[in-house]
Amino acid sequence: MRLPFLGVSLILLLSVTFGIGQSSYELATKQILDRAKDRMRHVWSLNRRIFVQLTAKGKSPLGGQVLNSKLEVEAETYRLFYDLAGNLSVVSVAELNDPLLRRRVQRMAKLQLQGLRPKDYEQAKDLLRQIHNFVNGPLVCPYEDCSARGSLAMYPQIMNKNMHTKLYEDLVINWKAWRRAINEKDVAKNTFIGYVRLLRIAATYNGHVTPSRTWYLNYDTENFQAEMEAVVWEIMPLYRELHAYLRREVQAAYPKADTKSDGAISAPIMDQILSQDWYPHQFFRTPHQGRQHQLPSVHRRLEEVLVTPVKINRKAAEFFESLGLMVMPNIFYDRFSRRMNDEEGGAECKSQVYYFPPDVALRYCPKLDYKKMMQIHGTMAELQYHLYKMQLPFGLDTEPCPGFGAAIAETVILASGTPRHLHRLHILLNDSLTEEQSLNRLFRMGVHTLIAVPQYFINDKFLVDVMDGRIGVKDYNCAYWGLQDKFAGVQPPLQRLNKDFDVDFKFYRGLNPETSNTKKFLAEILGFQFYRSFCLASGQYKPGDPNFPLHNCDFYDSKEAGKKIRDMMQLGATRHWRDVMEIATGERKLSGRGILEYFAPLFTWLKERNKQLDIEPGWDADELCRRD
């Protein structure tokens, strides 16, 4: 267990033992938290320094100063929360009258990886760095010879190669080569085993007999995995229709894959499908062919109308101002909004938010395209959230559960990408697409969302079932493929053994609690729930009215939607996330209803099209994983 540190915590121990007055007990608890906030101010000052270093003229974004500052932030943050949890662990919450003080203690007395003792925490960081290298390190020689072109990383090089190739053989070669490279001598599997061991140790410090309770720490829900699974089954009828349609496209494009008419889809092909969601030369056909039915190109109009990323940033900020949220002052753009260097992040660069109260700052991607325009709206949601949360007591100045803020951001991303909003920005001539274009757009978005959601769940479930001992080491691989079969209709491209370790690169990314698959799952599902609610409140979604479908809802300028967003943001973590979501949705559980209503026209078309082609939804995967 973590031991409390002498000082104020000693007063707490004495007060429990010898009955010191309740007011003194609460005062001592507040003093612990006040001292922790003083230390947090130092961390915030380091964040400010990092922002200044990154934006100073002539400074390299990868310079040693920045790296040292980031390492210092990580070390200081760990020491702060580790010490604080040790002190708060002796606090008897029942002795506290102030409900906010009780909630602060409850949330900060238990930790995930930061609850590990220093030696174990350093080991966990080392393992996460190694796991990161599995995905981003140049480790792979697909054709056995790297002398000419050098080794490749799974992301982005191999992923980009897979996105462009039209040969099934290439997909399989790359799929095998990456797994062979990272798991030579069982390196990847042993790294994962070591990491799970540390997650279990962290759970024991929290008093959790079931380790996954620490993984799901701030969801405060018994059997949260069961709630996620219920959502997967709720949207499964739609997923099965999309899967059946795509399976037929796979059969036409990749005959060598030998995909059965009632079978699962090969994993490397499903990975390619997901990577080609918005790729213009994808192998699968959209519902309506013909040039007149394809989505209008907005890139040229973006350049003509919005001209620069700076203007896009201001337009994104205006979206929130129209809702009645905070106005970003000129001083923000003058002092706290800076452009990234062109070499940072490549084509997939993402804007970054820096939090150092009383200020927030932004480093934005210099690219000018449709995808970045939508993403910056999500980034502005994060900025707004920080501005509201910083008014709250330390420890509650955060989102109520991981992924909650990203869910709010998802709603604005969805709204900003609609034809109705693009028309408002004078990028499209009309505020709606033709019926054929609209269906093609929904299909693309369906590939982007509906294929990803079950994968988030599978990756989360596999990790949690391993942590809790429901899957043993000897059964890892076949258990993983069993989940892929059950929830996604995906199978390996060739015969595999239980001694192999075939989890995909998105699984490794999700091992870090900061980027967990749990968080991504909740952001997608709750995001569509929020979006539906905001659209109903704004009057821009009228169920049954073809002129106001959910998929073309732009709740810009809706003070009703804005009030829901502001009320949630202002609460931070002062209340349970279910209480906060109820403000917007009137519901207290995750639901697939938002997704089903959003994609309703696509669902109808897929059912009719599959019936016309005599395609039966569902699958029976081949037995391609053999238990040793």
List binding-site positions. 219
- Catalogue the long-range contacts made by 357-362 (C-beta closer than 8 Å, 24 or more residues apart): 357/44, 357/390, 358/390, 359/48, 360/332, 360/336, 360/386, 360/387, 360/390, 361/48, 361/51, 361/336, 361/337, 362/313, 362/332, 362/336, 362/337, 362/338
Give the DSSP per-residue string, 487-544: HH-EE-SS-EETTS----HHHHHTTSGGG-HHHHHHHHHHHHHHHHHHHHHHTS--TT
Q: Residue 355 in 3-state DSSP? A: strand
- Number of residues in the chain: 628
- Name residue, tokens 């007591």: 393
**Rounded to an integer, what distance in angstroms lies between the CA atom of residue 146 and that of residue 314?**
46
**Rounded to an integer, what distance in angstroms lies between the CA atom of residue 396 and that of residue 586?**
23
**Rounded to an integer, what distance in angstroms lies between the CA atom of residue 109 and that of residue 491?**
42
Numbered residues of the known binding site for chloride: 219
| CA terminus-to-terminus distance, the chain | 39
**Rounded to an integer, what distance in angstroms lies between the CA atom of residue 382 and that of residue 398?**
11
**Rounded to an integer, what distance in angstroms lies between the CA atom of residue 131 and that of residue 194?**
11
Count of beta carbons in the 10 Å neighbourhood of residue 68: 12
Q: How far is CA 455 from the centre of its chain?
A: 12
Beta bridge partners of 46: none
For the record, the structure tokens of 272 come out as 């390619």
What are residue 405's phi and psi, to 5 degrees? -65, -40
Q: Give the containing element (helix H, strand E) for 619.
A: none
Residue 151 · residue 139 · CB < 8 Å = yes
Give the DSSP per-residue string, 253-313: H-GGG---TTSPEEHHHHHHHHHTSS-TT-SSPPSS-SGGGSPPP-HHHHHHHT-SHHHHH
What are the residues whose beta carbons fall under 8 Å from the beta carbon of 158, sequence distance 6 or more?
Answer: 140, 142, 152, 174, 178
**Rounded to an integer, what distance in angstroms lies between the CA atom of residue 284 and that of residue 509?**
27
Residue 88 · residue 105 · CB < 8 Å = yes
- Name residue, tokens 């990092």: 50
